Amino acid sequence: MVNYSISKIKFSDGQEIPIFGLGTWKSKPGEVTQAVKDAIDLGYRHIDCAYFYGNEKEVGEAIHAKIAEGIVKREDLFLTSKLWNTFHRPDLVEGALKETLKNLGVDYLNLYLIHWPVGYKEDGELMPYNEAGKIQFSNVDYVDTWKAMELLVQKNLTKSIGLSNFNKRQIERILQIATIKPVNNQIECHPYLNQKRLIDFCKSKGITVTAYSPLGSPDRPWAKPEDPTLMEDPKLKELASRYKKTPAQVLLRYQIQRNLITIPKSVTKSRIEENFNIFDFELTDFDMEYIDTFDCNGRFCPNTFALGHPHHPFENDDY
C-alpha cells in the first residue's frame, strides 16, 4: 500500500506542497488559534488561509506559538493565502499580500492565489454592495492582476503563485500571457462535483489541483435544510462502514488517491485528528470508480453573489 502520510506534490516551479492541509474559512477568530495549534501538534504542516476569512491574525498567533515552542520551524510549514476580489487592480496587489503577511506574522507565503476571477469595486468593503443589494464589480481583467502577482515572486514575498475558482478558458487566457505559470488551481471538489474534466485539463498544463470543500461544506452560510448533505449520503455511509472508517475519512481518502491536494476545515480537535487519520487504508479501484459515479454537478459554493459578472467562472457552459 502506498503511504501518503508524508506525501508532497511537486509544483512546476519545484516547490513541494503537503497533499493534506487544514482549511480555515468560517473558523471563528476565537476558535481558529486553538484549531491550528491542535492541527500542528497532530502533524498538519499545510494551512489554507485567505484575507477574506478575517482570521489570519489568529492563524498567525497559532503558528508563532508552535514555532516558539520548538514544535515547528517556519520552513516546515506550507502557508497559502488568497488575494481578495477587491484588490485585483494591479497597484493594489502587493499591498494586499503585505497585509496578509503582517496578519500572519511571516515574511513570505508559500503560495498566493487569486481567490476568484471576479474583481469587485475597490472601495474598502470586502463585499461592496450597492443600495439595491447588488455587489459592485470592477472592470479589472484578471490577466492584468496576474502580471502583478508575478512581481510578488520576483520580490520573494511568495514562493509560488496560482489561481482559485478559474475555469478552463480562464486558465488558458492566463497561460497565454504568463511569464510565471500558475502552479495550482484551488477548486471545489468532492464526489458530487468530481471535476474530472477540469482536473485533467489542469494536469495537462502542469497545474496541480487543490480540492476545497471536500466534505461538502455543511457549515456554508447559505445552506438550506432541504439541501443534500454529502457526509450523510447513504451510499457513502455504507462504503465507510465497510472500511470501518467515517464518511469524512472516505471523502478525504478519495481525494488523496486521486493525487489531489485537499484542505478540510474543522475547529473540532477530534475531527481534526479524524480527518488526518486516513493514511492507514486504501480504497479499491472498484470503490474509487463507484464514488466517481456520485457526480451530479452538485456545487455547494456557486458564488451567486457574483452572478452577472463578466468573469464569473460558473455561468457559462465552460468547465
Ligand X SMILES: CC(C)=CCC/C(C)=C/CC/C(C)=C/C=O
Ligand Y SMILES: NC(=O)C1=CN([C@@H]2O[C@H](COP(=O)(O)OP(=O)(O)OC[C@H]3O[C@@H](n4cnc5c(N)ncnc54)[C@H](OP(=O)(O)O)[C@@H]3O)[C@@H](O)[C@H]2O)C=CC1
Point out the annotated binding site for substrate: 115
Task: Check binding of 25 to ligand X (CB under 6 A).
Answer: yes
Give the residue, chosen from 19, 22, 50, 109, that forms a contact with ligand X under the rule CB under 6 A: 50
Between residues 11 and 212, which has the closer beta carbon with respect to ligand Y? 212
To ligand Y, the closest distance from the beta carbon of 131 in angstroms equals 27
Among ligand X, ligand Y, none, partner that 221 touches (CB below 5 to 8 angstroms by kind): ligand X
Among ligand Y, ligand X, none, partner that 48 touches (CB below 5 to 8 angstroms by kind): ligand Y
Between residues 138 and 246, which has the closer beta carbon with respect to ligand Y? 246
Give the residue, chosen from 14, 70, 133, 221, that forms a contact with ligand X under the rule CB under 6 A: 221
To ligand Y, the closest distance from the beta carbon of 227 in angstroms equals 13
**Gap between the Cα atoms of 191 and 317, Å rounded:** 20
C-alpha cell at 280: 492507514
Using DSSP's 3-state secondary structure scheme, residue 262 falls into: strand
DSSP for 14-56 reads S-EEESB-EE-TT--HHHHHHHHHHHHHHT--EEE--GGGT-H
To ligand Y, the closest distance from the beta carbon of 132 in angstroms equals 25
- Does residue 274 come out as left (phi exceeding 0), alpha (psi in the -120 to 50 range) or beta? alpha
To ligand Y, the closest distance from the beta carbon of 39 in angstroms equals 12
Between residues 165 and 249, which has the closer beta carbon with respect to ligand X? 165
Give the residue, chosen from 9, 42, 92, 301, that forms a contact with ligand X under the rule CB under 6 A: 301
Burial of 87 (0-12, 13-18, 19+ CB in 10 A): buried
Residues identified as active-site: 53
Q: Are 41 and 53 in contact (CB under 8 A)?
A: no
Q: Are 303 and 312 in contact (CB under 8 A)?
A: yes
- Does residue 125 come out as left (phi exceeding 0), alpha (psi in the -120 to 50 range) or beta? beta
Interface residue list for ligand X (CB under 6 A): 25, 50, 221-222, 301, 303, 305
